[in-house]
Chains A and B, each alone.
Chain A
Amino acid sequence: MPDGTIANAITATAVAAAGLVLMTMQDVQPVSSGPELRVFLEQQPATIADLGTLQAKFEKLANEWRRNTTFSSSVTDIVLDPNYQQIIGMGAVAVPLILNELKQSPEHWFWALAAITGADPAKNEPDGDIEAAAEAWIRWGVERGIIR
């Protein structure tokens, strides 16, 4: 992948993450678009500059999480894994990364997404249908510009 493409992808992820933060703030106070987003980017230089590092951190944690929990049917065991908890601790910046994982494979990212965002877009999906829940979360992310 050309460097420019990587930079564009990272920028898109940064904007999406920032957008999510602004979106989650909408319940607290009304926000418009451009100026607030720019202010957010300016106030979070470490976060934005380190997005490549954050992506690497996320992938490492996600791989360790799979390694530890892939043979478990217990959702409790799956979400209490320390790597999963660290991903939740990454906060809003992890959301586009998680949603892109969900696009690849409908794994148990729902608890993390709900914990970080407070949203529940899969609440009307059929019981036990992980694929439907994943599709609902992906639609939610696309509609908000968090992922494409």
Chain B
Amino acid sequence: MPPRPPDYRQAFPQLTDDNHEKKSEFDPRYNCIGFAAGTKLWWWPKRIPGMNRYWPPGVPQEVTIEAFVKAFEFKGYAVCSDGALEEGFEKIALFGKGDEPKHAARQIDKRYWASKLGGNIDIHHELKAVEGDQYGQIIRYMKRAKPQT
């Protein structure tokens, strides 16, 4: 096996024993955007030579917050004001540095959000615990009605 990268706790120093849970092993097959959208695909707006990335049809192929908002609108989300738990809705949070999107997380419950850390592991965490050098700050919240079961 290829050597594993450094422990994620070094990259996200705000994560503590009390504010997150590791939920998967290293899995490079999907990224945070695809994971937040409920898939196990690698979502990215720009063409990747050598493979076919996924990006919703009709959405601008730009690495901008606006384009990422439109990508989640394609999945039925709409921008909302905060990350408070709302009955009947599911939410995502977009992180970025300036206008450059860096990460997305989706809400699990009142306390925890689910994140795929790039091509690495999945965790459940308090939302702001992954803010910082890697992913910047929360830029947008979006919500959609939970699918009928």
Contact = CB atoms under 8 A, between A and B. Distances in A.
B52 A122 contact: yes
Given A67-B5, A101-B2, A106 B49 contact: no
A72 B55 CA distance: 17
B110 interface: no
Nearest to B32: A73
Contacts of B26: 105
Interface stretch (A19-27, A33-41, A109-117): A109-117
B48 A110 contact: yes
Interface in A72-126: 72-76, 78, 101, 104-115, 120, 122-123, 125-126
Contact of B119 (A70, A114, A128): A70
**Chain B interface residue bracket vs A:** 35 or more
A2 B116 CA distance: 41
B119 A76 contact: no
Contacts, number: 113
17 contacts: A70-B5, A70-B117, A71-B117, A73-B33, A74-B102, A105-B2, A107-B28, A110-B51, A111-B48, A120-B49, A127-B52, A127-B53, A127-B54, A128-B30, A128-B34, A128-B39, A133-B50
Interface in B22-81: 26, 28-34, 39, 41-44, 46, 48-55, 63
A111 B29 contact: no
Interface of B: 1-6, 8, 11-12, 26, 28-34, 39, 41-44, 46, 48-55, 63, 102-103, 116-120, 134
Interface of A: 62-63, 66-67, 69-76, 78, 101, 104-115, 120, 122-123, 125-131, 133, 137
A76 B41 contact: no
Nearest to B36: A73
B52 A125 contact: yes
B31 A111 contact: no
A81 to B, nearest CB: 12
Nearest to A69: B118
B51 A130 contact: yes
A125 B51 contact: yes
B117 to A, nearest CB: 5
Given A63-B3, A74-B63, A105-B28, A120 B118 contact: no
A129 B116 CA distance: 16
Contact of B50 (A62, A71, A73, A122): A122
Contact of B2 (A71, A104, A112, A120): A104
